[in-house]
C-alpha cells in the first residue's frame, strides 16, 4: 500500500508539470465558471472542432451562444509575464530570464471565428472574441481593443453585453449547426494537433534564420518605444514582428 501511494504521488507530481495536464485543469476551471451563466439565456459548447473548406480543422475552446451575441473564448493557462500587442504575430512569455514565444491568441481566435462563420454560412452574426488567461499569468500587454482578460473576469465580461442582437430562432439555428458540425473522430483530432506543432516549428525555424514566416522577406533588427525587436524589412506592407 505504501508503495502504491508513493507511486500515485509521483505520478501526480509528473502530471502537474505537464503542459497537457495544466491545459486540462485550465479548461475544467473555465467550464465551471461558464456554468454560472443563466442556462435560460446562454448555451455553452465546449471543445468544438470544425472542419474548414480546405480540409483543415479549427479547434475552439468554448462557444457561448445567446441573444446578446456569440462569444468565442480562447483560454490560456500560462505562467509568468505575458508581453505583447494586438498586431504582433507573436507574444512573449517571460519567466525570470527565460523567454518563450506564443502565437498571438487574438489572431488565433480570429481563425476560429472565421471557421464558425463558414460553418454557419453567415458573416453577419455578431461574434465577440474573448481571450481568457488564468491568474497564473501576469499580463503586461499594451492597450488594445480586444477582450483579453483573466478567467476570473470571464462571466462579467460576457454579461456586460446586455443588448439583444439575435432572435430566439437565430440562437437555436446557430446552436444546431455548431453542435452537429463538430468533429469527434479521435484520429482527426490528433492530426489537428500534429499540424499545429509542425506549423509552429516551421515558423520558428524561418524566424531563427532571419526569414519572415509571413511573407518570406528578410527580418531586421529595429528599435521601438519598448526596446529592440525583430521586424520584416517590407514594413508597412508586412507587419510581422518578433522580440529580439
Q: List pLDDT tens digits, range 43-67.
A: 999 999 887 766 678 889 999 999 9
Residue 227 lies in a domain: no
Residue 222 lies in a domain: no
| Percentage of the residues of the chain whose pLDDT score is greater than 70 | 73
* Number of domains making up the chain: 1
pLDDT at residue number 225: 60
Q: Which of 110-119, 144-153, 232-241 has the lowest mean pLDDT?
A: 232-241
Residue 12 has pLDDT above 50, yes or no: no
Residue 24 has pLDDT above 60, yes or no: no
* Domain that residue 43 falls in: 19-184
Residue 235 lies in a domain: no
Residue 15 has pLDDT above 50, yes or no: no
d(CA 98, CA 241): 19
Residue 6 lies in a domain: no
- The backbone torsions φ and ψ at residue 79, rounded to the nearest 5 degrees and listed phi first, read -115, 170
Q: List pLDDT tens digits, range 148-164.
A: 999 999 999 999 999 99
d(CA 69, CA 219): 40
Residue 5 lies in a domain: no
| Helix intervals (H) in 121-225 | 154-159, 168-181, 186-208
Residue 41 lies in a domain: yes
Residue 229 lies in a domain: no
Q: List pLDDT tens digits, range 87-105.
A: 888 999 999 888 888 999 9
Q: What is the 3-state secondary structure (H, E, C) of 158-180?
A: HHCCCCCCCCHHHHHHHHHHHHH
Does 2 or 191 have the greater pLDDT score?
2
Residue 193 lies in a domain: no
Does 193 or 73 have the greater pLDDT score?
73
Amino acid at each position: 500500500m505504501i508503495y502504491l501511494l508513493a507511486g500515485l504521488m509521483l505520478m501526480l507530481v509528473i502530471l502537474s508539470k505537464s503542459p497537457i495536464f495544466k491545459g486540462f485543469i485550465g479548461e475544467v476551471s473555465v467550464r465551471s465558471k461558464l456554468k454560472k451563466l443563466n442556462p435560460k439565456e446562454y448555451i455553452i459548447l465546449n471543445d468544438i472542432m470544425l472542419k474548414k473548406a480546405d480540409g483543415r480543422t479549427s479547434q475552439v475552446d468554448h462557444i457561448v451562444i445567446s441573444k446578446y451575441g456569440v462569444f468565442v473564448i480562447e483560454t490560456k493557462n500560462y505562467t509568468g509575464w505575458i508581453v505583447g500587442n494586438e498586431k504582433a504575430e507573436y507574444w512573449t512569455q517571460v519567466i525570470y530570464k527565460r523567454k518563450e514565444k506564443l502565437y498571438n491568441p487574438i489572431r488565433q481566435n480570429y481563425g476560429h471565428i472565421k471557421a464558425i462563420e463558414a460553418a454557419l454560412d453567415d458573416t453577419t452574426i455578431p461574434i465577440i472574441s474573448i481571450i481568457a488567461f488564468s491568474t497564473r499569468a501576469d499580463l503586461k500587454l499594451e492597450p488594445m481593443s480586444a477582450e483579453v482578460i483573466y478567467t476570473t473576469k470571464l462571466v462579467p465580461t460576457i454579461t456586460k453585453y446586455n443588448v439583444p442582437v439575435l432572435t430566439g430562432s437565430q440562437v437555436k439555428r446557430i446552436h444546431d449547426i455548431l453542435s452537429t458540425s463538430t468533429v469527434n473522430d479521435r484520429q482527426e483530432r490528433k492530426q489537428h494537433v500534429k499540424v499545429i506543432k509542425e506549423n509552429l516549428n516551421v515558423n520558428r525555424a524561418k524566424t531563427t534564420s532571419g526569414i519572415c514566416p509571413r511573407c518570406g522577406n528578410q527580418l531586421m533588427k529595429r528599435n521601438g518605444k519598448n526596446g529592440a525587436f525583430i521586424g520584416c524589412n517590407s514594413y508597412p506592407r508586412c507587419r510581422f514582428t518578433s522580440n529580439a
